Chain A
Amino acid sequence: MNWFSPARFAAVLIKEFIQMRRDRVTFAMMIGLPIVQLLLFGFAINSDPRQLPTLVELNDDGPVVRAILAGMATSDYFDFIGVVQGPAAGEAALRQGTASFVVVIPAQFERDVVRGQHPDILIAADSSDPTAVAGAAAALGGIVAGAASQTLTGPLQPLAGTTAPFGVVVHRQFNPEGKTSTNIVPGLLAIILSMTMVMITAVAIVKERERGTMEMLIATPVQPLEVMAGKILPYVLVGYVQTAVFLVAAFVLFSVPFEGSFLAFLIGFNLFILGNLALGFLISTLARSQMQAMQLSFFTILPSILLSGFMFPFAGMPGWAQALGTGVPATHFIRLVRMVMLKGADSADVAGQFGALATITTVFALLAMLRYRQTLD
């Protein structure tokens, strides 16, 4: 007869497990969702596209030029769609979006290369979608240099051996990010967990109220913490299953590395799950119907996607948006996961994220407990 009875907690826990098992559709969603999301986001969202339409403005021709163009074509980033005459035509094509790149080979390029005068190739890139061309542009230097070294043989060998025989000037400063999926996939884990965890628990209390079972439940001597813990724990385990499925898929399908400490990941991950479940529980105490609970969940999921740094760089957001984003658990978890998986961070490196997640979780849980009514008032 105190504030927490393990027996009553166990009763709620067992009941929730049975109900979860009986609700096949929801259960299938919980397991299927990570896979579907991973495939959709992992494959569909690609900020490193290949086969970008490319035009060439040929003011000279020769073995070096041909080798460079062939090297670019085989890199798969560039799809040569034609030749333009004069700078105006190339500019127009970029403006109209028919080409993403225009490669300009200057006049007397071959001669200047042979003379060691270090001519420049100009590559104009469509900067309206910087992420789209970033990968291709980043790859350019290597491609061109490789192509040149293959051509400059025999009497021209000394040219290849020295510093680059020609320069490549890209008309746009890029920030090469490498493969997008490596960046997207760890962040996606945060989004998937937010969606399922918040939504499932958001309906937890409302469902009891809508079905009329709440009246029976609170007519028993059950305490708020027993209900909350008993309802949340089964979904913590669901979160584990989701994450396991996710990590395997991320590794097998996208070869996402896992460089850092698994312990750090595990701690952050548990804090994040608990935070989301507490948030879901809070929504559940606020909503009057399951429909409302769903809508409120979506309302909280949007900031997780938009303000967390998942979709847009966090540093690029204005101050107020960063402040909002700081209150979103996904923000901290996405940082943590990226740091751990991609940059090899350990627990000490992500202590700040632990603290932030623990704080948010505690606040949500306290609010939820305060909101939970032991009466029908």
Chain B
Amino acid sequence: MTQTSGHAPAIDVRGLTKRFGDKLVVDNFDIAVPRGAIYGFLGPNGSGKTTTIRMLCGLLLPDAGQGTCLGFDVRREARQIKTQVGYMTQKFSLYEDLSIRENLDFVARMYGVPQRRSRVESALTELGLADRAGQLAGTLSGGWKQRLALAACLIHDPQLLLLDEPTAGVDPKARRDFWDEIRRLSRQGVTILVSTHYMDEAVQCDFIAYIAYGKKLIDGPAADIPRMVGLTTWRAEGTELAALELALAGQPGVAQIARFGASLHVSGRDAAALQATVRQFEARGTQRWSLQPAGLEEAFIYLMAGAQDNFAQGPS
């Protein structure tokens, strides 16, 4: 790898747009993903995450927009991109009527992996499935299917991993293991673009892009997102939280109220107005109030609510 390509972003696209019929699924989407980064893709269902990922790896042809993926043109060089990208689909897409080994062998052949047999065997060993290699993939549990799918998209040592909600329906332990693996790959220089609904996964990303209804609402280093959204959050602990939630709704400065276990997080962008409201309620003495830094989760709940409002006011 040359010096320049080492510094060039793994993904650099601008104005990516996709329509299905008259429905605008992805609208003028820009993203620049640095090499070796873990880039989180967040957004509600149907926000265009999957469509964007598919356009990046050449499965869908963009209606408009341009850019490069691993230095190859996303419109014209889909084949070159495909050889160096590992794409893990949202739904399990290996052959359920093929065994674990047969699936890995098939994928390895498709990518022309050198020393295929030993590569497949070592993948099986790494997976911990060497003694179950003859089992049909369809009989695996959700967690194992996910691990197999990851192993399959890593078999040709791709430079870029596109993971579309890889941990949906997987138990917490398996998710934790999965993310350990993702971080290990990232340390080895693999660029990873991962879409997710989970906040605990979002916080593991270096960068985050939040999209809703086909539009990117925010994009930046994960640590900067709350600041970029500009929320102030107050935390209320105590009793009668349900009543408090009702009473707070629509008060000056209160943009969002979210329940977190035994506490209520009250957030807003107008810090002064929010503080005034909070002081009033604090005076009643039912709850203990404390100011706390706004987290990613509040930021995203806020973004999502805002996006829905925009959508309700009429499509642009």
Contact = CB atoms under 8 A, between A and B. Distances in A.
A219 B54 CA distance: 9
A213 B110 contact: no
B83 A11 contact: no
Interface in A1-29: 1, 5, 7-8, 10-11, 14-15, 18-19, 22-23
B89 to A, nearest CB: 5
B82 A219 contact: yes
> Interface extent on B, as a size class?
20 to 34
Contact of B87 (A22, A23, A213, A219): A219
Contact of B110 (A1, A220, A376): A220
Contacts of B82: 219-221
Nearest to A218: B59
From B57, B89, B97, name the one whose CB has the most chain A CB atoms within 10 angstroms.
Answer: B97
Interface of A: 1, 5, 7-8, 10-11, 14-15, 18-19, 22-23, 211-222, 374-377
Given A15-B102, A375-B59, A376-B54, A220 B111 contact: yes
Q: Give the interface SS of chain A, mostly helix, strand, loop or mixed.
A: helix
6 contacts: A215-B59, A215-B91, A216-B107, A219-B82, A219-B89, A377-B61
Contacts of B79: 1, 221
Given A1-B79, A22-B97, A218-B59, A10 B109 contact: yes
Nearest to B111: A220
A15 B112 contact: no
A68 to B, nearest CB: 68
B106 to A, nearest CB: 5
Contact of B61 (A14, A22, A212, A375): A375
Nearest to A211: B96
The 9 closest A-B pairs by CB, nearest first: A11-B109, A216-B93, A220-B110, A219-B87, A221-B82, A212-B91, A22-B97, A212-B93, A215-B89
A8 B112 contact: yes
B274 to A, nearest CB: 46
Contacts of B59: 215, 218-219, 375-376
Contact of A14 (B83, B93, B97, B106): B106
Contacts of B85: 219
Interface in B96-153: 96-98, 102, 105-107, 109-112, 136, 152
A344 B152 CA distance: 55
B97 A23 contact: yes
Nearest to B63: A377
B54 A221 contact: no
A18 B100 CA distance: 13
